Structure 1
Amino acid sequence: MNKYMSGTYLKQDFIKLEEFWIVVLALLTAWTLAAHQDAYYAIFGVLGSYLYWTFRILIETAFLTAVLFAVEKYCHRILPTWARYVSAILLSLIPFTLAITALDLVMGLPELGLDSIDLHSGSRGWAFGLELFYLLDNHIILSVILLLPRLLLQIGSQVANVTESDLKKETTAQASFFDSINPPLDGRVYCMEAQEHYISITTSDGNRMVLHRFSDAVKQTPSTLGMQVHRSHWVAHAAVKDVVIEGQSMKLKLIDDKEVPVSRSFRTTVDKQLNN
């Protein structure tokens, strides 16, 4: 099995890159904000503005990832995935607001409106609440951007798990009759044909003659893998490339260009299988 079709390998690859892409997205966001700075931050100059926004967004990123790690570690059994994300976003807003407020105060950019209000505890608490509300929408947007790698990881894992599950089902189906053959068959099975007491099995790697009763082989092969189309022919669903109809006769053209006849008694079954 190709390792990139395995959910385990896919998850490992994404985890290795997740931290990298979080930092990249954070820096791109910071530099985009710096490039569109208003006069409020012009006192820093171009380089100073880029450094300010880089430091600010990295602080926000650090709080988000730290809180998300804690929530996933201690609350993964009681909270669904979406609730863990929402909790991490809202909880990380509080320490980020405190940190960025302190940073802005140090740099001469008071966020809490302390230049215009009386500094008693009630006013400070109200101003901090307003600051939380003011930063909420920006924090949510940035958090969603930073969580994109993780969301892509989950989507990729789900797709890979579905593919892996299908492959396992096919492997399980083949394990009935075809895995009883010794030595094992090579390649993917295309069709079987009864030849007296033997069965001629065609695969993607060639042909094999096996001493076995054809009717028993068909019974031991699940219908999810293929279908009997003639009293002496069986074909795999995945091997059918086209249907050839000539007058009253029907044939199935396989991916190796071999044509297998379909008897009248099996036409209804074949039509039903091909239309599903």
Structure 2
Amino acid sequence: MTWREVQTQFRHPLFVGMILMLELCIVLIGPYDHLLNFDALQLAIFYAVAFTSFTAALYGAFYICHQCGWRAYSLFTVTFGCVAATVCGLSVALVLGAPMPGFRDMALVTGFNLVFCYLGEVIQSTFIIPRVLADLRGRPQKAVLAEFITAEAGALPHQPVRFGPGTIPPPIFAGRPAEMLPLKAASVTLFGQVFRTSSISLIAAEEHYVAVILQDGTRHLLRGRIADAVASLPPDLGQRVHRSYWVATAAVAGFRPDKPGAQLVLTTGQTLPVARPRLAAIRDWAEAAAERSKAGQGTARPVKPEGRKAKTRKAPQRVPHVSS
């Protein structure tokens, strides 16, 4: 999910309804009533603060992951929201005059909160997220659910691979051992559509849309921001050369330091502008990519296959006239 989709999810009727349903279940169960001994008004204040703090902490956890570029795993986001809501609820209860609970009671309350929060997470991941994304992306729920599962599974190969003792030392690539290089995911989901990472050549921003150009020339116009698309791609797949352009390393043919502004030359012959703040980094990256491309293609001329002789046109022969 992109950051915009996460923000929209908190305002979606299905998500709001799920939160209200879980809150109603907690109120009806009343796991804290024997510790609080509050009247109706005090209970209303207590639950309002606890539920509001949980939602705010959950949103804050997503925001932290977005700013730091982390994946928003449930183990962090849900646990962070649950602990924050527990602390806020305890503080409000003490302010309203409740006695300080013992260690055993506090452990039981915290355990109940964790179990209930992860129950809500299961409901959200199974039923809420596919329906929310289907509404946001205008696609069928089954297709969105399949893409959601594919995106989550595609995140696993990004983890670095470690070789155990006794294995053959790996070769060195770009000054780093191969064991430290992350593996690229086979596919990536951009605004609800799945692409093979090796097929993406260029991503361009067009107002409120993003154009994804593949190596075969196919062009897909998707609604979204280029920043969200770049954040979903593997970091070593390419570079963002301009605020409106991202280019895959395999699509770079050279670098042209023109006086008005530097230009990046693609393998298709197209040239793209390079932003001034990125000039030095893009030049080194483009020159290295061009050298690797030339080394991979080689300089040898194609050899004609053996056994095939060049065809020569023979002069027409006259057939002698035979008299009867």
Normalising to structure 1: TM-score of the pair? 0.38
Structure (1 or 2) with the greater helix fraction: 1
Structure ranking higher on relative contact order (CA contacts 8 Å, 6+ apart): 1
Structure 1 or 2, whichever has the larger Rg, is 1
Normalising to structure 2: TM-score of the pair? 0.34
